[in-house]
Amino acid sequence: MEGDPIEARLPGLAIFIVTCSFAFKMSANRLSGWQLEFFIVALPFTAFFFWVVILYLNSLVVRLLRTIDLFKSVPNNRAQSVLICGLTTLFAGALAISASWMRFVGFAWIAGLALNLAAAAVIAIDDATGKGT
């Protein structure tokens, strides 16, 4: 159902989990003891601020793409979703090819993305053929 609170929050949570898992995977083997404990506590806050900076840079990229006549008809939230999903998929891909238990997080993101794209394709085909409800 469109507008469902779970539909809005679940992707954000998944992006946050993939981001934290990627940052932990990239940094954990370089830290030990109290440094690792501090990193684990600071990781959610760091991931939040990372995404704040990325959203700002993302808005600049969208503005640049619009000045060269790309993304003109696409709303801001859709354009940002494309760039955010692409970056998160890169993180998930790096997790998926890693040799740790976190590869499940990467595979889960990629599977969810594939299912979402398949559902969008089915809806588009259904709308194009006029057989939709």
pLDDT of residue 1: 47
Regions of the chain with pLDDT less than 50: 1
C-alpha span between 86 and 61 (Å, rounded): 14
Summarised one tens digit per residue, pLDDT across range 111-125 is 999 999 999 899 889
Which CA distances in Å does 20 have to 54, 73, 128? Answer: 15, 33, 39
> Would you give the distance in Å from CA 3 to the centre of its chain?
19
pLDDT number for residue 78: 83
Coil, helix or strand at residue 72: coil
Q: What angle do CA 110, 19, 33 make, to 5 degrees?
A: 130
Claim: this prediction has a pTM higher than 0.75: yes
Beta carbons of 102 and 95 less than 8 angstroms apart: yes
Residue with tokens 């959610």: 44
Number of neighbours of residue 103 by Cβ within 10 angstroms? 17
Instruction: Quote the CA–CA distance of 109 and 72 in Å, as a whole number.
Output: 29
